Chains A and B, each alone.
Chain A
Amino acid sequence: MNKVFKDAGEALHDISDGKIIMLGGFGLCGIPENCIAALVKKEVKELTCISNNAGVDDFGIGLLLKKKQLKKMIASYVGENAEFERQLLTGELEVELIPQGTLATRCMASGYGMPAIFTPAGVGTEVAEGKESRVFNGKEYLMEYAFDADFALVKAWKGDTAGNLIYKETARNFNPLMAMAGKITIAEVEELVEAGQLNPNEIHTPGIYVHRIFKGSVYEKRIEQRTIRQSAH
């Protein structure tokens, strides 16, 4: 079975209006840039996006916001995006903010075949409203459900034709978790090699989780906060 697609346009051919889509990345680090560009080009609308952040005004998921392609955003932190804040305050965009660890673990649970997890994050806060809780060893935990996403769009450093993925540095973040959680997982990679060319000891995401893979045509890899130190003293 062939998992390799020519480009983002082909790999995302069946994403239609109203789908629930997970997107990997933390800030602008490790985001599936080529998949996002393809979604913008396809002009699909009413999407629900699950991603830690919402990009910035002119990059990442911010590009989808600008074109008003999102119905709902599920994220943990959405600062750095004025258009997002505007759509949120006017009610154009439905937003669910959830703790970052909860977001990650709900992805993980999905990929591990577990319907729910228990976490202390949010106990006693508005995040806990309407949720079941249980006490274990004297401490209260919220029950949080595994995500149910139609597509997961992830970015890896290297991938092979069997769908195995290796991530680089902190660009790993949510990518391996979301890769496990999509009904259909589409991976874009910087380097695509034949099966057998990656060391099996170094694989982060085994190919069983990856349905489609393509080599991204371009990577801007924009830096959000460029910080440097003065040369060594």
Chain B
Amino acid sequence: MLDKNQIAQRIAKELKDGYYVNLGIGIPTLVANFIPEGITVTLQSENGLLGMGPFPLAGEEDPDLINAGKQTITTLPGSAFFDSAMSFGMIRAGKVDLTVLGAMEVSENGDIASWKIPGKMVKGMGGAMDLVASAKNIIVAMMHTNPKGESKLLKKCNLPLTGIKCVKKIVSNLAVIEVTDNGFRLLERAPGVTVEEIQNKTEGKLIVEGDIPEMIF
């Protein structure tokens, strides 16, 4: 079973040289720590920055320079600032190559629910609806089950949707799964996790073809 950092590490293997990437809050943010050596990836922060750098050193925090998670950050050589309309303009126009975000539920046809639990939690969708409606490639980083042990990979989402038919791939603590027209297709198992366990913890249709390899980091 993977921990949060390992999920991020596995997702980082999907990055390619030249990619512009938007990382959501939570596990997706950790992906920045595992960008493979030798490739250039530019991080987009939807509050208006391309070329997001690491957190500042103590004493160098700048209140005017934050990421979409409201954390203090830095710029890099080649960074650019812009307003929120241009930020979502580049997202809507398909300029961002990869979006990584978290989810509460994903359905077998690629629907995603991530922004609201009716009666309990209403924080808002932020930029998630814009991102999932337009991104060419969306990877969801999530736990396979909720704290009660119930599957979060469903036939149909129960919670209010963030977007429809948009998730392309899921990296969970148990598996790497591709979302196809016919359902979830199992690509890789986390080390020490069996196909049977993944099957048991996936409520939606899981397609298992041939030997399923263990993930390599």
Contacts and interface: CB of A to CB of B under 8 A. Distances in A.
Interface of A: 26-30, 52, 75-80, 85, 88-89, 95, 97, 99-105, 107-108, 119-127, 157, 167-177, 204, 221-229, 231-232
Contact of A104 (B66, B88, B129): B88
A228 B84 contact: no
A30 B46 CA distance: 15
Contacts of A227: 55-56, 61, 71-73
Given A100-B88, A172-B83, A77 B123 contact: yes
Contact of A100 (B46, B122, B160, B164): B46
B163 A224 contact: no
Contacts of B64: 29-30, 157, 168-171, 221
Contacts of B128: 99
Contacts of A89: 122
B72 A226 contact: yes
20 contacts: A26-B66, A52-B84, A77-B124, A77-B125, A79-B124, A99-B125, A99-B126, A103-B84, A120-B92, A123-B164, A170-B45, A170-B65, A173-B48, A204-B83, A221-B64, A223-B61, A224-B66, A227-B56, A228-B57, A228-B60
A99 B66 contact: no
A167 B83 CA distance: 10
Given A85-B122, A121-B130, A101 B58 contact: no
A29 to B, nearest CB: 5
Chain B facing A: main interface SS: loop
A65 B48 CA distance: 27
Contacts of A122: 129, 133
Given A97-B124, A101-B91, A173 B47 contact: yes
A80 B50 CA distance: 25
Given A78-B122, A121-B133, A174-B83, A225 B70 contact: yes
A120 to B, nearest CB: 4
B76 interface: no
A225 B66 contact: yes
Task: Name the residue among A78, A95, A108, A229 with the largest chain B CB count within 10 angstroms.
Answer: A229
B57 to A, nearest CB: 6
B162 A125 contact: yes
Contact of B47 (A29, A99, A167): A29
